[in-house]
Amino acid sequence: MSKANLLNRRQVVASLLASRGDAIAVGGLGASTYDIAAAGDHARNLYLWGAMGGAVMIGLGVALAQPKLPVLVITGDGEMLMGLGSLATVGLQKPKNLSIIVLDNESYGETGGQMSHTAAADLVGIARACGIADSVALATLDEIAAFAARMQDVSAGPRFANIKIDAANLERVLSNRDGMFVLTRLRGALGFPPI
């Protein structure tokens, strides 16, 4: 990837969540979860610190269970590579309210910054081949803002966006790491009683 004009991950996530409305945001392993928390802790954030490869499938389950709400999965390229089969399942199920966003720095940031396969693999092409017709690469904050507005439409998904970001190692912003608290808070925000 060209190292010029790469986007700042925190600006990207803040832009995606700026007008989130009732959307549920599912954060993937590591940095994407910290980026969601940095954009503002929210009762409809579902943080997945240690579930590598599972964010898209968890987002799919939430989208199928809550078809009237926008569901956003924000994850990294390493996790997306680990869970490529999930794109085929999304392509088959076609949840109209699901948007998948990959923050792609072409490296495995959680394990030392080794080069990831997205230096060669085309995630947008893979998503399209899996049946997600609305699959795009976004390169500017204006494109991201336009995509964020489309994410609110729960009748036209699924959507997939790959966004090339810089590989900056930013301060970790943590919300409550108690999984039961996060789940109970999300259930409450959706009108369900505590477990």
Distance CA 97, CA 178 (A): 27
Q: What is the sign of the dihedral through the CA atoms of 49, 188, 44 and 71? A: positive
Q: With 0-12 CB in 10 A as exposed, 13-18 as middle and 19+ as buried, what is 163?
A: buried
What domains lie within the chain, and their CATH numbers? 9-189 (3.40.50.970)
User: What pLDDT score was predicted for residue 111?
Assistant: 59
Spatial CA neighbour of 157 closest among 132, 123, 136, 126: 132
- What are the tens digits of pLDDT across the range 130-188? 999 999 999 999 999 999 999 999 999 999 999 998 777 767 767 777 788 888 888 88
pLDDT category, 117, cuts 50, 70, 90?
low
